[in-house]
Amino acid sequence: MHGDIVFRAEAAGATEVTLFDAGDEDYGGFAERRRGSKIRFVQGDLEEPRTIERVGPHDVVWCTGVLYHTPNPVLQLLHLREITRELLFLGTRTIPEIPGFDQACLYYPYLDERSRRAHARAYWDAEHCYAIGTPFDDRPMHGHGNFWWGITPSALRAMLTSARFEVLEERHPHDYPWAVDVVARPIDKDPLLPPRAYYRERGEQNDRGGPGLPFGNYYERARTQAG
């Protein structure tokens, strides 16, 4: 939906540019516009590991309007960390801080109508905010169209920190107060979580009577073996 950014990046001198989206490439005529361009198109899901491997690392990653459309916002940030070398530009919606509850989040699906309409009053485009301005759309395959989480700014910063990002700047480019653009950079720390296959591989080694996988120094040893 926001594929114009890749053409601007290429025009500005970016040597390798990837347009990554869940939607089909012909949405917005991008397939036609890509002719004669070096821009690469990858269709996939930000939460699917094989897709992240296919996208690969980039110096600058620009991602907007996605984080609140999933039940798994932290997973998305973890995957964004995997493909970000230098800077992440993240655009998302937020909700006001909740007094007495730092880093609070609000779960939107299946709010009763009274509660939902109270929240919808804060959105200028509520009719397009499914699960807020309209009832939650629980049709199979349509889940990503909904708003899943209302994320406070403090919760967003904590999520980014847990995904190994450092927030450099917060921008508010719109009159609408509950939208923010965050500029963040990856920090040089190993992930908080083990690799997705770690426990399965550990169990397989144990079953074979092998030495087993290291735990506390897993990432350090993996780097040593790779280098």
Please report whether residue 221 resides in a domain: yes
Please report whether residue 22 resides in a domain: yes
- Name the nearest CA neighbour of 186 among 73, 54, 80, 111: 80
- 94-100-104-105 Cα dihedral, nearest 10 degrees: -70
**DSSP for 139-180, written as a single string:** STT-GGGB--EEE-HHHHHHHHHHTTEEEEEEE--SSSTTEE
Q: Where residue 35 falls among pLDDT bands split at 50, 70, 90?
A: confident
Please report whether residue 16 resides in a domain: yes
pTM summary value: 0.93
Q: Tokens in use for 201?
A: 């591989």
The tens digit of pLDDT for each residue in 80-99 reads 999 999 999 999 999 999 99
Please report whether residue 213 resides in a domain: yes
Query: What is the tally of structural domains in the chain?
Result: 2
∠ Cα 140 141 147 (to 5°) = 100
The tens digit of pLDDT for each residue in 201-226 reads 999 999 999 888 999 999 999 888 88
Question: For residue 23, what are the domain limits?
Answer: 1-43
Please report whether residue 80 resides in a domain: no
Which residues lie below 8 Å from residue 6, measured CB to CB, with a gap of 6+? 17, 18, 19, 39
DSSP state of 109: T
Please report whether residue 136 resides in a domain: no
Q: Which amino acid is at 127?
A: E
